[in-house]
Amino acid sequence: MTAVSEFKPGLEGVPATLSSISYVDGQKGILEYRGISIQQLANYSTFLETSYLLIWGKLPTKDELTEFEHEIRYHRRIKYRIRDMMKCFPETGHPMDALQTSAAALGLFYSRRALDNPQYIREAVVRLLAKIPTMVAAFQLMRKGNDPVQPRDDLDYSANFLYMLSEREPDPLAAWVFDVCLTLHAEHTINASTFSAMVTASTLTDPYAVIASAVGTLAGPLHGGANEEVLVMLEEIGAVENVAPYIDSLIAQKSKIMGFGHRVYKVKDPRATILQQLAEKLFEKFGHDQYYEIALELERVVADRLGGKGIYPNVDFYSGLVYRKLGIPADLFTPIFAIARVSGWLAHWKEQLTKNRIFRPTQIYTGSHNETYVPIDERN
Ligand code: ACO
């Protein structure tokens, strides 16, 4: 029988798998994908090259990368029946719900569950990486009453996504910054959504169900949903001089400050540092606004009040600021996180398949025994 002392709420500190995909040192602020620091990948790689590294475990050669990029370009379009299905979604629905539904719908077309066939695995990886951005952009346009914009084969992955959102070719700096954002969000060990993906994968269901289940988990405000909440908070604060009273009142009410704190990092999240540098570049080129100044003051005030508890900005703090500057609506921030994280989820799906054992943890029962069934008329 499991001892109550072994129970860890939230499974904190409990290893759920053996993995060689990514590594985090929360005390030193280190994040590595396949042993390579996130700083090097942000500086020198692209999102698709990083995805290849995560999923296939090694950096691609030039030919391998060209082929991978080519396959993804080729699979970007979505079937008109998926588009028609998405047209029926209520325009007031959250884009994460639309994404979860459409990711699951891909399984209606492509699910053969041929998990021992490397070609099936490759096609699933390519289709999911290629089609998820198209579905996010399509819902964004259709909820505004517009037709979706077809992907453009001459544009790179990130430039094409920004193009599909606005039908305008993005500024090269904007496309590069966005691509780095995807790299930063691509993978982060066994977080809630990745764990969800692994549990689903362990049943040997199809990869579209795996990704749909992870998308549903990412949607919550304690996980991917926090970047949207950060922006709401910056807008509520409205001016630099309001930051300290706003934060003090949240602390007094014991409310969480969105975009701060992390289960693993007890120093500033290295991704937040890189995102802050990207935000600076964007604001330099496209003009400053009060939100950047509010964010800086917020970071200073929270470090002063809560730094002693190891509460610093996490990846969600500056990402909202960057996306807002790129003209992206706040409720697309989490779907964009999903676009990026698909590569990490797929890497874990593939890893899970190589050593699968269905997840079936135990519980400590706290209910009663030998109760009597009382007929409904006799209950009070
Ligand atoms: N604001 C204020 N206080 C905080 C915050 C915060 N953002 N985060 C943690 N704390 C405090 C808690 O109140 C608690 O204090 P106490 O010990 O005095 O009671 C202590 O720090 C420990 O907090 P826990 O909630 O136990 O820490 P946990 O590891 O469970 O939480 C989490 C991590 C969920 C991310 C939390 O920091 C949080 O809710 N942050 C805000 C939401 C957010 O930004 N989420 C995005 C995370 S990154 C990602 O998912 C991509």
- Average pLDDT, consecutive stretches of 10 residues, N- to C-terminus, the chain (380 residues): 79 94 96 98 98 98 98 97 96 97 95 88 97 98 96 97 96 98 97 97 96 96 84 93 96 94 90 94 90 93 93 90 93 96 98 96 96 96
Ligand 1 centroid to Cα of residue 375, in Å, is 45
Range of the domain at 183: 17-219+332-355
Same domain? For 111 and 213 the reply is yes
Does the reported pTM lie above 0.80? yes
Buried b / exposed e over 47-56, threshold 16 CB at 10 Å, is bbbbbbbbbb
Close Cβ partners of 260 (under 8 Å, ≥ 6 residues apart): 302, 306, 311, 312, 313, 314, 317
Find out whether 311 and 259 touch, Cβ atoms under 8 Å. Answer: no
| Strand 22-25 to 36-37 pairing | unpaired
User: How far is the C-alpha of 292 from the C-alpha of 231, rounded, in Å?
Assistant: 11
Same domain membership, residue 297 and residue 191: no
- 213 and 234 inside one domain: no
Please say whether the beta carbons of 39 and 274 come within 8 A.
Answer: yes
- Same domain as 239, residue 190: no
Pairing mode, strands 36-37 and 30-33: antiparallel
Long-range CB pairs of 34-43, under 8 A, 24+ apart, other chains included: 34/58, 38/183, 38/184, 38/270, 38/271, 38/274, 39/270, 39/274, 41/183, 42/180, 42/183, 42/184, 42/274
Q: Where are the alpha helices (DSSP H) in the chain?
A: 38-44, 47-56, 62-74, 80-87, 95-110, 118-142, 157-166, 172-185, 192-201, 207-218, 226-237, 243-252, 270-286, 290-306, 315-325, 333-354
Asked whether residue 33 is assigned to any structural domain, the reply reads yes
| Model pLDDT, residue 79 | 96
Same domain, 158 and 235: no
Residue 178 sits in the same domain as residue 235: no
CA of 140 to the centre of ligand 1 (A): 31
Site to substitute for ligand 1 among 248, 309, 333, 334, most atoms within 8 A of C-beta:
309
Q: Would 362 be classed as within a structural domain? A: no
Q: Which pLDDT value is given to residue 1?
A: 55
pLDDT at 111: 74
Q: Which residues of 192-212 are buried (b: 16+ CB within 10 A; e: fewer)?
A: bbbbbbbbbbbeebbbbbbbb
Identify whether residues 113 and 251 lie together within a single domain.
Answer: no
- For residue 219 the two structure tokens come to 């949607």
Q: Is 350 found in the same domain as 318?
A: no
On whether residue 373 sits in a domain, the answer given is no
- Same structural domain, 198 and 274: no
| Ligand 1 atom 30, closest CA | 263
* Closest ligand 1 atom to 223 CA: 50
Q: How many domains does the chain have?
A: 2
59 in any annotated domain = yes
Question: Do 74 and 133 fall within a single domain?
Answer: yes
Q: Are residues 203 and 252 in the same domain?
A: no
Residues identified as active-site: 262, 316
Closest C-alpha to ligand 1, atom 27: 263
211 and 233 inside one domain:
no
Q: For residue 299, is it within any domain?
A: yes
CA distance 270 to 249: 28
Please enumerate in sequence order all residues whose Cβ is within 8 A of that of 104, keeping only pairs 6 or more positions apart, or say none: 208, 209, 212
In angstroms, what is the span from residue 194 Cα to ligand 1's centroid? 19
The Cα 257–Cα 55 span in angstroms is 34
pLDDT per residue over 178-206, tens digit each?
Answer: 999 999 999 999 999 999 999 999 999 99
What lines the ligand 1 site, CB under 6 Å?
A: 222-224, 226, 256-263, 306, 309, 311, 314-316
Is residue 210 assigned to a domain? yes
